[in-house]
Amino acid sequence: MAMLYWKVKAYLEANGKTESEFDNIKLRNDGSGDYIHTWNVSDLLKPTDSQLTSADTQATKDYNNNRIRKTRKAVYGDIGEQLDEIYKDIDAWKARIKKIKDDNPKE
């Protein structure tokens, strides 16, 4: 269901809507695949399969970048620890953060 979520998100954004609209959408999987169960987005029709397919490139990019953000956040560590590291040796902190970003590039 993850990729359907990202396709719907890309479709919403391409049509001037925000992720907050997910409160009005229900995604389901009936065992044969993911689908949109409920669509109550004002002033925007439920996307066709073709429209969702056209959002695939952006959805994949958003999905990958979200995974990268989560990985970076986990590797960065606690903000208090980072501030202590900056205080003690800002150059070492900058080098560590650069390595994390280099090892986990966004698209």
Cα dihedral across residues 6, 12, 18, 21: positive or negative: negative
**Predicted pLDDT at 19:** 83
Residue from 16, 9, 13 nearest 63 by CA: 9
pLDDT of residue 1: 62
Mean pLDDT score of the chain: 93
pLDDT digits (tens, 9 = 90+) for 43-73: 999 999 999 999 999 999 999 999 999 999 9
For residue 5 the two structure tokens come to 């979520």
Q: Give percent of the chain above pLDDT 70.
A: 99
What pLDDT is stored for residue 2 in this prediction? Answer: 75
